[in-house]
Structure 1
Amino acid sequence: MRALVLISAHGRLERLARALAEGLESVQIRTDVMTADPSRSQPISVAPYDLVCVGSPSLGFIRGRPADDVQEALTRCTRLEGKRTAAFVRRGGLGTGRALKALMAALERQGAWVEDFADLGSEEEARAFGRRLKNVAGARE
């Protein structure tokens, strides 16, 4: 089993992404972490992955939204149609729920199946989310 964790370059998500990857790897899901890079224009193939996790900060204290670089990266993802995905946002302000819903909607516009989601505030929450995603990825013991 393989997973991709695609995160925004904004919002200090690196530690959460590494912790999420640790959680996935603890349940035998090999994981790659990629940061969205708006300067790149080439497609991002998600074909080799059984699960794609997408993370963003929650921008805007009340009217939350995901970061633009992640939304742009999703439009460059190929083979996302029908792919099992999970969305997460870094908790921040009253707009966290709105940002998470917008991120899930962006995934669904690309044809992905959003199987799970979370707002994460700590590395331990991210590890637990990664372990929980074992069921989404269909990993076997």
Structure 2
Amino acid sequence: MRVSPQRGLAWAACTLGGLLFALSALGMTYGSALQLWQGAAAGNAADLAQLRQAAQAGSPAAETVMGELEVHTHHDRQALQWTRKAAEQNDARAAYDLGFAYQVGLGVPENPAQSFAWYRRAARADFTGAQNTVGNSFY
């Protein structure tokens, strides 16, 4: 779904080429999951607990953010688990993150074929960063 800035969601139109992530069973978008992560980073344990609970309940957006959080705290194995769960539920950002993990060997052995496959999956889901990465691979 594309949202125009005129509808009050300019952040969605600007980030990720206007792509909004599909709502999970909990109705959580990547933006709302990211807000919880930012609250957790500021020391709000309740935000982290809510984010973790949403991820454990199967929210792809929350799983993606938990994966990114675990990378920042150098918990590569946990990051990969969250990211893979979200990517397998067709979360485009998570598919991109998983492609990057295979590209650089973050928590997994480097595997260019797996990396490209995940980047392509994210690109097909209109994730602009992945489209750029896939396009650049042909140069």
Higher relative contact order (CA 8 A, sep 6+): 1
For the criterion TM > 0.5, the same-fold answer is: no
TM-score w.r.t. the length of structure 2 is: 0.31
Higher helix fraction (1 or 2): 2
Q: Which has the larger radius of gyration?
A: 2
